[in-house]
Amino acid sequence: MKYLDEFRDAVLANRLLASLERRVSRPLRLMEFCGGHTHAILRSGLRQLLPSSVRLSSGPGCPVCVTASSDVDRAIALASQPGVILATFGDMVRVPGGNASGQANSLQEAKSLGADVRMVYSTLDALGIARVNPGLQVVFLGVGFETTAPTVAAAVLQAAAEGLTNFTVFSVHKLTPPATRAILDAGEVRLSGIIGPGHVTSIIGANAWEFLPRDYRMPCAVSGFEPLDILLAITSLVDMVTSGVPAVRNTYARSVRPEGNLIAQQWMRQVFQVVDAEWRGLGLVPASGLAMRTEYEAFDAARRFPLDLPPGREPKGCRCGDVLRGVVEPTQCPLFGRTCTPDRPVGPCMVSGEGACAAFLQYGES
C-alpha cells in the first residue's frame, strides 16, 4: 500500500495543480501519445482538475487501433487458411477490418465460420501451441509497439533455437517516434508539448525523444501511469513552455533510463528490420514498422503465406483516424455511444483496452 500511496498523494497533487493554475497564462494543448495514459487520465478525472487553459489530446498510442484495416484483413485471411492456427492477443479478435474476404470482417467472425483463432496472453503461449500441434502451422499476430516487439523477437529466437518449423509471426509492429514525427509534420494540431509513453520509453530510452526539442522545439516529458506521474509530467511540460527551453525530461526515472533497455533493443535489431508501415489514421509512415529480417524468413508469415488482397477500407462513418491524430475527440464522432459502443464497436478505438473512444465512454467523458 505504501507504494501506491506514494503515487496517489492528494496533498502533493493539490500542490501541483495549484502551481499549474498560477503559472499557465495562455492556452496549452498537450498530447499524450499513449493510450494507457489516456485511460489513466480519464479514470482519475485529471482533465477536470487541470486549469481550463490546459487541454489534453490523445494520440496514436494504441497499437490495436493503429493497425491498418488492410492488415486486419490479412490476419483474417491467414486465419482462414487450412491447417493454420492464428494466435493473437485478445483485443485484436474484435477489431473490424475492411471485409476484404466478403465473409468475415473480424477474427471473431472468422472463428465463428470455422477458423482456428486462439487468444493468448504471451508469445510463449503461442510457442506452446506450436509445440503441441506439430502438424499445424501456428501464426502469431505480432501487434504492438517497441514494448511488445522484443518479446516477439525473443519468441522467434527461441523457436529458431528449438528448430520449430511450424511457428511464424505476422509482424505489424510499429515504432512510436516516427508516428510522432508524422503528426508534427502534418501540422493539423498545434501542440505545446508531448507526454512521452512510459512503457515504450523504458525500452527505447528517453534519449530516443531528443529529436522533439532539437527538430521541432517541442518539449517532451516521459511519464509513468499513476495520476501523480502524469501530473508531474504536465507540470514539467508547463515549466519548459514557460521558460522557452524545450527539452526531454524523464519524470518516470524509476522505470526509464536514458539509453533504455539495451538487451531488448538488441533482440529487436536481430530479428526485425525497420520498414515503412501503414498506420490507421496516419497512412504510410516512413521507417515506422518492423518486418522480419531475411535471416529469419522461415518464421515470417508474410513470406510463408503470400496473400493478394484489395486495399483496406475504413468502417463507414468511423472517425478513428481523426481521433488517433488528435484532430477530433471521440465524442465528436457522430457514432460515439449511439451505433458504436463497446458491445457493438464500429471501429478499433472502441474495441481496444487502450482505445480513446472506449476510455471516453467508460469514464463518462462528454
Q: Which is nearer to ligand SF4, 93 or 340 (CB)?
A: 340
Whole-angstrom distance, CA of residue 23 vs CA of residue 259: 32
- Please report the sign of the dihedral spanned by the C-alpha atoms of residue 280, residue 285, residue 287, residue 288: negative
Q: Which is nearer to ligand SF4, 71 or 146 (CB)?
A: 71
What does each C-alpha distance from 169 to 75, 142, 269, 288 come to in angstroms?
11, 6, 16, 18
Looking at 63, 98, 312, 330, which residue binds ligand SF4 (CB under 6 A)?
Answer: 330
Q: Which is nearer to ligand SF4, 20 or 183 (CB)?
A: 183
Of residues 222, 209, 294, 296, the one with CA closest to residue 252? 222
**Minimal distance in Å, beta carbon 318 to ligand SF4?**
3
Q: Which is nearer to ligand SF4, 27 or 334 (CB)?
A: 334
Cβ(353)–Cβ(42) below 8 Å: no
Q: Grid coordinates representing 315?
A: 468502417
Q: Grid coordinates representing 245?
A: 527551453
Please identify, among the stretches 209-217, 252-260, 266-274, 327-335, the one whose residues bind ligand SF4 according to the rule CB under 6 A.
327-335
**Minimal distance in Å, beta carbon 35 to ligand SF4?**
13
Binding-site size, ligand SF4 (CB under 6 A): 14
Strand ordering across the sheet containing 283-292: 173-174, 283-292, 272-279
Environment class of residue 248 by beta-carbon count within 10 Å: exposed (0-12), middle (13-18) or buried (19+)?
A: buried
Q: Grid coordinates representing 109?
A: 467472425
Which 301-320 positions form the footprint of ligand SF4 (CB under 6 A)? Answer: 318-320
**Minimal distance in Å, beta carbon 30 to ligand SF4?**
21
Which 64-103 positions form the footprint of ligand SF4 (CB under 6 A)? Answer: none
Q: Which is nearer to ligand SF4, 99 or 265 (CB)?
A: 99
- Please report the sign of the dihedral spanned by the C-alpha atoms of residue 13, residue 16, residue 21, residue 26: negative
Q: Which is nearer to ligand SF4, 172 or 357 (CB)?
A: 357
Q: Letter for the amino acid at 186?
A: A
Which 335-364 positions form the footprint of ligand SF4 (CB under 6 A)? Answer: 335-336, 340, 346-347, 349-350, 357
Say which residue the cell 464497436 belongs to. Answer: 345
Q: Which is nearer to ligand SF4, 104 or 351 (CB)?
A: 351
**Minimal distance in Å, beta carbon 303 to ligand SF4?**
32
**Minimal distance in Å, beta carbon 281 to ligand SF4?**
10
**Minimal distance in Å, beta carbon 323 to ligand SF4?**
5
Cβ-proximal residue to ligand SF4, closest one: 347
**Minimal distance in Å, beta carbon 230 to ligand SF4?**
23
Whole-angstrom distance, CA of residue 314 vs CA of residue 202: 33
Q: Which long-range contacts (CB under 8 A, 24 or more apart) does 306-309 make?
A: 307/74, 307/77, 307/78, 309/70, 309/73, 309/74, 309/77, 309/100
**Minimal distance in Å, beta carbon 154 to ligand SF4?**
32
Q: Which is nearer to ligand SF4, 56 or 78 (CB)?
A: 56
Please identify, among the stretches 14-22, 222-230, 291-299, 333-341, the one whose residues bind ligand SF4 according to the rule CB under 6 A.
333-341
| Interface positions with ligand SF4 (CB under 6 A) | 318-320, 323, 330, 333, 335-336, 340, 346-347, 349-350, 357
